[in-house]
Chain A
Amino acid sequence: MNFLNTIWRNEKSREIIVQIFVLFCIGWILSWLIANVDANFKALGKDISFEFLFIPAGYDINQYLIDYNNRDSHLRAGIVGLLNTGLVAVFGIILATVLGVFLGIIRLSKNWLASKLAYWYIEFSRNVPILLHILLWHGIIINTLPHPKKALNLGDLTFLSNRGFYIPKPLTENGIELVYLFLVIAIIFAVLFFKYARRKQDLTGVQYPVFWINLSVIILLPTIAFFISGMPISLEIPALRGFNFRGGMHMSPELAALTFALGIYTAAFIAEIVRAGIMAVDKGQREAAESIGLKPSKVMNLVILPQARRVIIPPLTSQYLNLTKNSSLAIAIGYMDLVATLGGISLNQTGREMETMVIVMLIYLSVSLSISAFMNWYNNKAKLVGR
């Protein structure tokens, strides 16, 4: 007894005993679960195999970025779904960021009315579940927009109807390479000039109007190339043929609803993040910058934003991640994303719940983990260096 007592009193040996005990418990639970799965699968005559991935899927997907038809395999259907998830996530992130930053700044404005409007928008939008946002927007597009025949006409270029949005499609012709080339050159110039101007400012304090120069270079150079090479871009404008539109780019009601819903919902969170980030910068920083005579725009760009960025980026990335995960709710309105293809129809058709869900979860998990890794890297890089 005395011997056991000694072991238990010793911190090191106690820790080892506790850990072995925990490991034993977890191992026991896991083996119990696996034995259950095994017994259940035997009873049902099922096995675990991933061969179903290579048999024809046999269902249609109404929106695809790579070629797909119903004779393609489940694997390809899954990839189409994954690309659709990516598509809506990118659209959603762009909308959410633009709207969110705008709202965050309005929320901080000295204008009482505008600030209150933004406040109530944020409260309404973030206190309503995202699924409701999605269904609401889908319902609005499906039920209140007119039929294609009476589609809302925006300047004869874009048409809004309950079958989706039709926007002009840029068609490229011979000679477009020159435009791309000039665009790349302009971007390289812009980056180099930005770095040069930053170094010059650090060394001497001289400032160039970097933003305006870069903007005009990026617009001007490709435009010149566009005219030199004989205007190789034309727009294919959607036109009504029979009951529906032909030509142009088509944005399905589901994609549009999902983009709006995800963008508008996440924008409310981003607005709060931007506001908190800007408010987190010490008041003395702004006062000091103003007292040395910087213009308001310079105060923002050179003093407030570089410091706010450190506070804003980590939660912003996790909002982007949330948006991507929330896009899995697409299944509720029939947008064919990863969960709807592989985890939905493929699952129902092949009856392989275990395999499909494992794949879907692993894909989401690896996306989240890599974004978390990026965030950690950024946090370390942006950390205030203590002197």
Chain B
Amino acid sequence: MSSQTYKPGSYPNLPPPPGTVGVYGWIKNNLFSSISNSLLTIISAILLYYLIDGIIGWFFLDAVFDADSKIECRKIDSGACWAVITRRVGQFVYGFYPEVERWRIDVSFLTMFVAFAPLLYPDIPKRKWLLWFSAIYPVFAFILINGGFFGLAKIEYSLFGGFMLTVILGVSGIVCSLPLGIVLALGRQSKLTVVRTLSVCFIEFMRGVPLITLLFVASSMLNYFMPPGTNFSILVRVIIMFTFFSAAYIAEVIRGGIQAIPKGQYEAADALGMTYWQKTRFITLPQALKISIPGIMNTFIGLYKDTTLVVVIGLLDPLGIGRAALADTKWNGLSTETYLFVALFFFVSCFAMSRYSLWLENKLNTDHK
């Protein structure tokens, strides 16, 4: 390179020095900016290479997708034996729901997106009409899935299972726990001592015990608290417990949001002569809920993941189906394949939820950046 000198006071329009822009510059800055950085890059690259190599080989290249048993799988190839999944994919999705009735699940699952769309995307066209559908959707889905009306055969709860059960538990828990959480959060911030104490006790109790003990209570004890002879389904009992549990966490998140609202907002509302309910409806909640969206979404994701715990009290969610499959001597020992498959399902749905939450957070962020 030739060195060139410029007169003092002249500012010629020169290109940036080589090695600071473009692909080369990016690589240099982000991967090899110092000796330790280069070392880290090399270690990461080696790790990545082995990871990808192993994953592709085991998952796809050496994998067996159809066979009659584990032994047969191993005879064909050395990789994963996905036959344990492919042979039971219907069970993994629908549990033991009768095969001829499975269209009912498909329909309610697909219409669920229509029902949720106006709630999740405020800008959707014809939102008002769709909201009516969202309002009747719970009844609609219940009739369709449960049956017993309009000539639809009644399906026993004990046949519910697989991913369908996860979605039913997760969605009903999420839908019921948000209103309860809001009520608890308001109760905790209330001026009324009795209301506040009760809310605090409920929230602290629910947050203090592991969910699994609550599920044990639901499965073995809840009937004691009902009038003798009542027998309501384990599914409903579990949904009640999930609702209580996650409502307590949501209440704490929303309380954080309420406390973050500047005091001036309340003073202004008081100055306008608003009643408590007007203040709550128009001042507190709109702002508090907006701030707490990330926390609420995290709680929802946690609730959705926690639905797997029902396997411990004997419901057949995907994990239960997987364990049943593994108990079969033909598939004994294929736990890695089974659990990874279920893990992938959860990863995809939870990751989508967290991405949605990020999107919403950015959309509602009205701060000046």
Residues of A near any B CB (own CB < 8 A) = 15, 18-19, 22-23, 26, 33, 36-37, 39-41, 43, 109-114, 117, 123-124, 127-132, 135-136, 138-140, 142-144, 325-326, 328-329, 331-332, 339, 343, 347, 353-354, 357, 360-361, 364-365, 368-369, 372
Contacts and interface: CB of A to CB of B under 8 A. Distances in A.
Nearest to B219: A353
Contacts of A332: 311-312
B198 A22 contact: yes
Contact of B194 (A19, A326, A361): A19
8 contacts: A111-B31, A117-B47, A353-B220, A354-B224, A360-B213, A361-B209, A365-B205, A369-B204
A365 B208 CA distance: 5
Contacts of A135: 319, 323, 335, 339
B223 interface: yes
Interface stretch (B96-104, B105-113, B301-309): B301-309
A364 B208 contact: yes
A114 B213 contact: no
B192 A132 contact: no
B30 A111 contact: yes
Interface of B: 29-31, 33, 37, 40-41, 43-45, 47-48, 191-195, 198, 204-205, 207-213, 216-217, 220-221, 223-228, 301, 305-306, 308-309, 311-312, 319, 323, 333-336, 339-340, 342-343, 346-347, 350-351, 354
Contact of B48 (A117, A136, A364): A117
A19 B225 contact: no
Contacts of A33: 225
A273 to B, nearest CB: 12
Given A114-B44, A127-B301, A132 B319 contact: yes
Contact of A139 (B213, B339, B346): B339
B195 A22 contact: yes
Among B192, B213, B226, B354, which residue has the most Cβ atoms of chain A within 10 A? Answer: B213
In the A-B complex, list the 7 residue pairs whose CB atoms are closest, starting with the nearest.
Answer: A139-B335, A368-B208, A127-B350, A129-B305, A112-B30, A328-B210, A365-B208
Nearest to B326: A139
A124 B33 CA distance: 29
A117 B228 contact: no
B333 A339 contact: no
A135 B343 CA distance: 11
A112 to B, nearest CB: 4
A364 B227 CA distance: 29
Among B44, B309, B346, B350, which residue has the most Cβ atoms of chain A within 10 A? Answer: B44
Contacts of A131: 308-309, 311, 319
Contacts of A361: 209, 213
Given A129-B306, A339-B212, A339-B216, 9 more contacts: A22-B192, A110-B29, A117-B44, A117-B47, A127-B354, A129-B305, A354-B221, A357-B217, A364-B213
